[in-house]
Amino acid sequence: MAPSIIATAPVESAFAELHEKVQTNGNRNGSSVFTNEGSKDSAPHLDPSYKIIEQPIGTRRPIRVACMGAGYSGLMMAIVFSESMQDKNAELVLYERNEDLGGTWLENRYPGCKCDIPAHNYAYSFAANPEWPNYYATSQQIHDYMHSVADKYDCNKYIKYQHTIKSAIWNENDGKWDIKVQQADGTVFTDNVDVFINAGGVLNNWKWPNIEGLHSFKGKLIHSARWDQDYDFTGKKVASIGIGSSGIQIVPQLAKVVDSMDVYVRTQTWISPAPGINEPTAKDPDMDAEYNFTEGTLEIFKDPEVLREYRVAIMDRRIENFKRAIAESDVQKRAQELFRASMTERLGDSPKGRKALQYLLPDFPVGCRRQTPGPGFLEALTQDNVELNWDDVARVTENGIVTRSGEVKEYDVIVCATGFDTSFRPSFPVIGRNGVDLGQLWETEQPKAYFGFLVPDMPNYFCFIGPNSPISNGSLVLGIQATAVYVYKWLEKLQTEMIRSFEVRKDANEEYNQHMQEYLDRTVWTRGCRSWYKRGTVDGPVVAIYGGTSFHFMEAIKNPRWEDFHIDRMEVARANRFAYLGNGFTQRESKGGSAGATQTLDFAEYWRLFVLPEIHN
Ligand SMILES: Cc1cc2nc3c(=O)[nH]c(=O)nc-3n(C[C@H](O)[C@H](O)[C@H](O)COP(=O)(O)OP(=O)(O)OC[C@H]3O[C@@H](n4cnc5c(N)ncnc54)[C@H](O)[C@@H]3O)c2cc1C
Ligand SMILES: NC(=O)c1ccc[n+]([C@@H]2O[C@H](COP(=O)([O-])OP(=O)(O)OC[C@H]3O[C@@H](n4cnc5c(N)ncnc54)[C@H](OP(=O)(O)O)[C@@H]3O)[C@@H](O)[C@H]2O)c1
C-alpha cells in the first residue's frame, strides 16, 4: 500500500475527539474506577460493541505536566522535556517559589557552604564542567553551573518563578491534579494537570530548633539556610548550635573573624581524614593545600577525554564509601581506626584538643550520621577564641543562653545550624485518591515510597528524593537523572497506551519497603546515633536512604515493573486494553515516511533498538 493513502491529518482530530469523549463520559461519581491490570485474572468478558480506533500505534494523547521546584531534580525534568519531549504533545510547567533556580544552592549561602563531595561528580553526567576551580565547589559556583546548564538545555522556557504551590488535589472525575498556585502578587490560580511531579527537595524546609525562649533573643538570630549576607561577624560574641554538615562548615569560617565563639554540641561526629574517599588523594591531578586545582590541572581538564577519565576514577572511588556502610565489614572497622587516629592527631595534645576529642569521638560507626571532611573544623576547635560546649543549652533569653548549670552567657549573635524539616511530609496539602492526605499519612505511618518516588493512592504523581532515596549511596545526581528517565517512560506509556491514571500497588510498596528495611539492617545507618536519616531519632527506622549503591538504584529502575501498578484506562479503551493498537499502522507510515530502514539494521543497531543495553554488568 502506498504510504500516501494513509491519512495523517485525522490523527490529531481523532485524538481531540477521543479526549472530548473521555471528558464527557469519564467517571463522574468520584469513586475509584481503576482497572487492576496485573492483578487476579478474570473470566473473559468481551464487549461485542468494541470497534477499532482509527489512529496509528504510538499516537500521543495530549498531557500537561506540572513539576514543583527548579533545583537539581526539577532542572533534570526540564532537560528531559527539552531534549526528548519536544513535539510529543506534552506540556511542562515548572513552578518555583523562589525568584531564581538552584534550590539548595540558591538558599544555602552560609560562609564555607560547599558541596563536600568532589565537584566533578556533583554535576550531571552529560554536563561536565572543566572549569570547577576547586576539588569541592562553593554554593555560588554550583549555582552558576546550574544556570549554565539551564541555558544550554533551554530550560528557562518552562520555569515560572515566584509561583508557590499551595495545594495539590487529585480529581477523580477528570483524572487530573488540581494544583493551586500562588503568584508573587498573592493571587492564586488553579492549574489542572495530568501529572504532578514533586521536586520540592528534602532539605528545603529549614526550621528553627525547639529551644525554649529562642525567639526572645534580642541579638542577631540566624539560621544556616537563611544566612544574612550583610551581617558582619567581625569582633562579635557568637553562639553556634549544631554540628551537622552545615555547622561543621560554618565553624572554621566564623572562627577566623569573631571575637569569641561557643560551639554547642549534643551528639558526637566522625570527621573524615584527607586523603580519603570523598577527599583528594595523592593520585589526583595537582592542587594546592586548599584543594584549588593548579593552572596546569585546569589546562589538562580542557581535554574532554582527560576530564572524562578523571570523573570515572573519582566516581569509582566514591562508591567505596558504600562498602564502608556495611556495619560489620572490615572496611568499616578500618575506617574507624583511620578516622580515630586522624581526629586524635588533628585535635592535638593540648587540654582543649583532648577535651574536644573526648566530646566528639563517636561510639557509633562511621557514616551513621552523615560524614563530612570538614576541612579546618577540628583545628578551629582548638583556637583560643573557640570553646566547645557539650549539650549545654537549657534555654535562650533576651541576651544569650542559660546553660544547664545556670550560667548566663551573653552573645551578639546565635547561629542555628540546626537543620531542616526532614519528615518527608509535604508542606502543603497533597490529597490523592479516595481523599488520602499524604502529609497526614506520613505523620501516622512511616513514610514509604516505591523506589523513593511513587506512593500508593497518589495516581500520576512522582516525588524526587522521597523516602529511601539514594542520597548517601554514591551519587545523588545520577539517581536524580535515572529517576527523570523513569518518569519519562511512564509519561510515554500514559500518552501512547490510552492510560488515564496509574498508581503503585500497596502490596508492591509494602514488599519493596520490607526489602529496604531488611537490607538497611546490615548498614551503619540503623546503628545507635541520632540523625535526620531516622527523622531525628536514635533508633527509628531509616527513612532517608536507599538500600544499595546508586549504580544499583539505576539498574533497579531501568525497566519499570508495570506489574506493580494499578492502571486505569481511558474511557475509550475500557472495552479492550489493546485499543491503542489502533488502525494497524505505525506513526511513520501514517505520515507517509519510510520505515523500511528497519530491514537494513546491523546486529548492534537492531539490539540497541529492541533491547536496553546492560548498564553495569
Ligand atoms: C547545605 C547543603 C549542602 C548539600 N551538599 C550536598 C552534597 O555535597 N552532595 C549531595 O549529593 N547533596 C548535597 N545536598 C543535598 C541537596 O539538597 C541535593 O544534592 C540537591 O541539591 C537536591 O536537589 P532538589 O532539586 O531535589 O531539591 P532542592 O535543591 O531543595 O530544590 C527544591 C526546589 O523546590 C522549590 N519548592 C519547594 N516547595 C515549593 C512550593 N511549594 N512551590 C514551588 N516551589 C517549591 C524550592 O524553592 C527549591 O528551589 C546538600 C544539601 C544542603 C542543604
Ligand atoms: N556540604 C555538604 O555536603 C552539606 C552541607 C550542609 C548540609 N548538607 C546536607 O544537609 C543535611 C542537613 O545538614 P545540617 O547540618 O543542616 O542539619 P543536621 O545534619 O540535621 O544537623 C543539625 C544539627 O543541629 C543540632 N540540633 C538540632 N536541634 C537542636 C537543638 N534543639 N538543640 C541543640 N542542637 C540541636 C543537631 O544535633 P543532634 O544531631 O543531636 O540532633 C545537629 O548537630 C546533611 O546531612 C547533608 O545531607 C550537606
Q: Would the CB of 66 count as within 6 Å of ligand 1?
A: no
Q: Would the CB of 374 count as within 6 Å of ligand 2?
A: no
Q: Would the CB of 73 count as within 6 Å of ligand 1?
A: yes
Q: How far is CA 252 from CA 357, 375, 376, in A?
A: 17, 8, 6
DSSP state of 286: P
Q: Are residues 271 and 357 in the same domain?
A: yes
* Residue 105, SS3 per DSSP: helix
Range of lowest pLDDT (3-12, 67-76, 115-124, 415-424): 3-12
Q: Are residues 259 and 380 in the same domain?
A: yes
Residue 144 lies in a domain: no
Average pLDDT of the segment spanning 358-366: 96
> Which ligand 1 atom sits nearest the alpha carbon of residue 102?
49
ω into residue 62 within 30 of 0, thus cis?
Answer: no
pLDDT (tens digit per residue) in 527-580: 999 999 999 999 999 999 999 999 999 999 999 999 999 999 999 999 999 999
DSSP state of 498: T
Instruction: State in Å: Cα 201 to ligand 1 middle.
Output: 5
Alpha carbons 593 and 588: distance in angstroms, whole number: 5
Q: Would the CB of 245 count as within 6 Å of ligand 2?
A: yes
pLDDT confidence of residue 319 = 81
Q: Are residues 337 and 436 in the same domain?
A: no
Buried b (16+ CB within 10 A) or exposed e, 211-222: beebeebebebb
The two beta strands, 195-198 and 461-463, are parallel
Q: Would the CB of 417 count as within 6 Å of ligand 2?
A: yes
pLDDT > 90: what percent of the chain? 86
Average pLDDT of the segment spanning 291-315: 96
Q: Which helix (H) or strand (E) covers residue 540, if one does?
A: none
Buried b (16+ CB within 10 A) or exposed e, 423-446: bbbbeeebbbbeeebbeebbeeee
> Which ligand 2 atom sits nearest the alpha carbon of residue 529?
39
* Residue 593, SS3 per DSSP: coil
Best CA proximity match to 480, nearest among 470, 472, 491, 488: 470
Q: Are residues 271 and 234 in the same domain?
A: yes
**Cβ distance 211 to 392 under 8 Å?**
no
Above 60 in pLDDT, residue 39? no
By residue range, what is the domain housing residue 430?
A: 4-36+49-97+162-204+423-572
Q: Would the CB of 534 count as within 6 Å of ligand 2?
A: no
pLDDT > 70: what percent of the chain? 92
Q: Choose the final residue of a domain: 572, 591, 612.
A: 572
Above 50 in pLDDT, residue 33? no
| Residue bearing the CA closest to ligand 1, atom 49 | 103
Q: Are residues 359 and 482 in the same domain?
A: no
Q: Are residues 218 and 345 in the same domain?
A: yes
Residue 111 lies in a domain: no
Range of lowest pLDDT (23-32, 349-358, 377-386, 507-516): 23-32
For residue 317, name the pLDDT band (cuts at 50, 70, 90).
confident
Instruction: State in Å: Cα 99 to ligand 2 middle.
Output: 26
Q: Choose the final residue of a domain: 393, 416, 439.
A: 416
Residue 107 lies in a domain: no
Q: Would the CB of 516 count as within 6 Å of ligand 1?
A: no
Q: Does residue 213 come out as left (phi exceeding 0), alpha (psi in the -120 to 50 range) or beta?
A: left
The three three-digit cell numbers of residue 290, written as one number: 586548599
Q: Would the CB of 164 count as within 6 Å of ligand 1?
A: yes
Question: Which value, to the nearest 10 degrees, does the dihedral of the CA atoms of residues 100, 101, 105, 107 take?
Answer: 40
**Cβ distance 25 to 19 under 8 Å?**
no
Mean pLDDT of the chain: 92
pLDDT confidence of residue 275 = 56
Q: Are residues 82 and 196 in the same domain?
A: yes
pLDDT confidence of residue 27 = 37
| Residue bearing the CA closest to ligand 2, atom 20 | 419
Q: Are residues 396 and 504 in the same domain?
A: no
Above 50 in pLDDT, residue 44? yes
Above 60 in pLDDT, residue 509? yes
pLDDT (tens digit per residue) in 246-256: 999 999 999 99
pLDDT confidence of residue 277 = 59
pLDDT (tens digit per residue) in 114-151: 998 899 999 999 999 999 999 999 999 999 999 999 99
| Residue bearing the CA closest to ligand 2, atom 6 | 246
Q: Are residues 227 and 369 in the same domain?
A: yes
Residue 326 lies in a domain: yes
Average pLDDT of the segment spanning 42-57: 90
Q: Which residue has the cell 488535589?
A: 169
Domain containing 502 — which CATH number? 3.50.50.60
For residue 391, name the pLDDT band (cuts at 50, 70, 90).
confident
Q: Are residues 260 and 179 in the same domain?
A: no
Average pLDDT of the segment spanning 167-195: 98
DSSP characters over 35-51 = B-TTSS-------TT--
The two beta strands, 220-223 and 408-410, are unpaired
**Cβ distance 177 to 196 under 8 Å?**
yes
Residue 468 lies in a domain: yes
Average pLDDT of the segment spanning 289-295: 93
Residue 119 lies in a domain: no
pLDDT confidence of residue 31 = 35
For residue 30, name the pLDDT band (cuts at 50, 70, 90).
very low
Give the number of domains in the chain.
Answer: 2
Above 50 in pLDDT, residue 236? yes
Q: Choose the final residue of a domain: 377, 394, 416.
A: 416
Q: Are residues 183 and 223 in the same domain?
A: no
Above 90 in pLDDT, residue 9? no
